[in-house]
């Protein structure tokens, strides 16, 4: 490990500890609060992704700035935008996790509601695992899959609300949808930043 990587350890250690804590808590509470646990798990994954960004920033992006591939102003814009995006995404996930599954108290009814019992297997099988997988792949590998997770998640959640789909997968479906939204937003911002950077690089090349 070179000296440059050694200097990154203090910057990477807090995020790594937060991610490990998130994974442990998600495992502990997965059975009792599935939706919240999945959201915390996703926040932990984003924290590790943020560590990857820190490494890229220090080793690649700063080197580009020192080599005049990008200007100091461009570097500042990219670094600040990435930091704010990660901060907002992780904070939003943790806030959603804090309130997931909570319902406002209802006034007592004069008579108990009629409960409709459905035979086992009555609901169509949910696609929570598929939606969550698309959301994770959208964040980690291929951002356009986040759009698929967003669309499928919205459709399936509406079906569950109408009683047309097994509600057991609501937690995974909702988490996959949120992850898909994050992947889509990050993709849009990334494309915008890439367009600006490419334009600046081309302008610098033409200036020479």
Please check whether residue 112 lies inside any domain of the structure. no
Please check whether residue 55 lies inside any domain of the structure. yes
What is the domain extent for residue 172?
3-100+124-207
Residues 6+ apart with CB under 8 A from 91: none
Please check whether residue 87 lies inside any domain of the structure. yes
Please check whether residue 11 lies inside any domain of the structure. yes
- Is pTM beyond 0.85? Reply is no
List, for residues 156-202, the tens digit of each pLDDT value: 888 888 887 777 778 878 888 888 888 888 888 878 887 887 877 77
Please check whether residue 116 lies inside any domain of the structure. no
DSSP string of 143-191, one letter each residue: THHHHHHHHHHHHHHHHHHHTSS-GGGHHHHHHHHHHHHHHHHHHHHHH
Q: How far apart are alpha carbons 179 and 162 in whole angstroms?
A: 23
Given a cut of 70, whether residue 12 has pLDDT beyond it is yes
Please check whether residue 113 lies inside any domain of the structure. no
Please check whether residue 182 lies inside any domain of the structure. yes
Please check whether residue 118 lies inside any domain of the structure. no
Given this model, what pLDDT does residue 2 score? 42
In the numeric block, the tokens 């998640």 are attached to 153
List, for residues 120-155, the tens digit of each pLDDT value: 555 667 777 778 777 777 776 677 778 888 888 888
Task: Quote the number of domains for the chain.
Answer: 1
């Amino acid at each position: 490990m070179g000296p440059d990587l050694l200097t990154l350890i203090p910057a990477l250690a807090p995020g790594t500890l937060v991610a490990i804590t998130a994974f442990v808590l998600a495992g502990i509470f997965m059975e009792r609060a599935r939706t919240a646990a999945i959201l915390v798990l996703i926040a932990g994954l984003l924290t590790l992704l943020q560590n990857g960004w820190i490494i890229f920033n220090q080793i690649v992006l700063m080197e580009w700035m020192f080599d005049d591939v990008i200007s100091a102003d461009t570097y500042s814009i990219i670094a600040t935008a990435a930091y704010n995006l990660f901060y907002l995404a992780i904070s939003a996930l943790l806030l959603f996790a804090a309130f997931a599954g909570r319902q406002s108290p209802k006034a007592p009814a004069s008579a108990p509601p009629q409960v409709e019992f459905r035979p086992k297997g009555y609901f169509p099988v949910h696609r929570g695992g598929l939606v969550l997988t698309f959301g994770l792949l959208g964040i980690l590998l291929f951002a356009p899959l986040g759009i698929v997770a967003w669309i499928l998640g919205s459709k399936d959640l509406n079906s569950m609300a109408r009683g047309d789909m097994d509600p057991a997968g609501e937690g995974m479906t909702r988490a996959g949808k949120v992850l898909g939204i994050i992947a889509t937003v990050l993709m849009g911002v990334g494309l915008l930043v890439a367009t600006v950077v490419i334009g600046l690089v081309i302008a610098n090349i033409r200036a020479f």
